[in-house]
Structure 1
Amino acid sequence: MEWLQIVVLSLVQGLSEFLPVSSSAHLILVPVFSDWPDQGLAFDVALHLGSLAAVVLYFRHELVTMTASWGRSVAGRGTDDDARLAWWVILATIPVAVVGLAFEDVISEVMRSPLVLAGGLIVFGVVLGIADWRHRGTRSEYRMSVRDALWIGLAQALALIPGTSRSGITMTAALMLGLSREAAARFSFLLSIPVIVLAGGLEALGLAQDEVPVAWGDLAAGTVLSGISAYLCIHFFLVFIRRIGMQPFVVYRLILGVALIWLFG
């Protein structure tokens, strides 16, 4: 791989994984607008590993507390807010895991066209804009209920449609349920951890069956660049939405969606 390709793909993954703009759409579009060869499964796994490391590092204190509280809950020693939040993350992950395994082939083979991406970007961008404008509340992620977790989990399954955005649809659902912008984003980021593990695990299984030589230098560079950009993205996104909100991302989605329709329609 060329160094420019490594840098572009790493930054696209690191930034778009956590922004509500659809990382899958951007990663699909990179080869459409360039003459670069497919980066391969190994590099995809490396990019996911970088994103995973970033979100785990950023929320390391919360994750330690949640894990300890969840362990006490499983042992029957009481359930506090951190344990409940851990359970909500687990519960909200189940729908996307089931749907992803059931429809993986259909999604990867049929629904990756630029026009499908455009539809997902526009439709779910408008829904995000409405949720941020009309329905957001003040509740934190610690004040969620079982019902909230289930609805967000069901919404997350829609992210398997390219162009939807996993972070975008989970934030949309959380805002609709009355969470604040920051709470919606933070829960979405916590939800990304098991999802990235599952997605990366599936890709790693495919990689294990692939006999193509591995360029370890490329993988290391992709992991580091993806991780750094993802970490910075999480930090500045939380600051940005506190001051400005989601509407700039809605506008970006609409512009990109219309551009795709104009180019490929």
Structure 2
Amino acid sequence: MRPYSTEAPMPTLMLFLAILGLPQAVPEIQVERLGASAYRLTASVVTADPAVAAATLSPKAAALCGASGYAFGHYEFKSVQALGEDGSEPKTVLVQDVTCGPPPAASEQAPAAPTRPPADQAEVERVNAEVTRLTNAYFDAAGAGRDAEAYAMISSAMTDATLEEWSAENRRSLGETGPGRSRTIARISIYTDPPGVDPGVYVAADYVAGWERQDECGYLVWRADKPEGPFALARRESTYLPHTLDAATRATMRQQFCIIL
């Protein structure tokens, strides 16, 4: 478990937005409506780099949302092999959530006072323990189908999906992965007032998990107004590696996303 650190950059949408102006080939994109102003885009991509892959979806997101604007949210990569094509090269598929709407208006108020970071190592260890507990509780509830319990831990800023919509997506995911076999929280990192997001204490929990049919790596980000909490789940990013992946593709995806796997 890594101790308190403020040196590493906080993962935010800035990773995507930095290169959206680059020309990209537009793939065939499947569109699923998630709500009145939210969509899920699914497309085969030529790279598992999240910034480059998301940039290829920018024209479709802009067309769907129009003048209201849009923001990329949760994403995941999958490796898919077509039925009846056992000898073919697996395709890398990006599943990207998009929310329509204008960016937040710039505030004319004076900047908020800086968030207090953990005062000492003892408080760092307390925050680490709390986020470890929350992370395990979230995954235990989601994996056991206790959807209302898991959903209650999610902040409103993370999703505008209803409980019913979130539950349907969780059932779909469990249907693809199969039952859980193992889970390890490999690293905890604490960030205070990182750029590009609302002020607060953000704690990233990097994890790896083994399922019946897939392996998973990713991170959860928990946010609170102060080190004492309470913390709510602000972000989840994940990459799935099916057990049927060929060695070369698996090695490439592990190198890019799953070093801790």
Which is helix-richer, 1 or 2? Answer: 1
Report the TM-score when normalising by structure 1: 0.27
Report the TM-score when normalising by structure 2: 0.27
Which is strand-richer, 1 or 2? Answer: 2
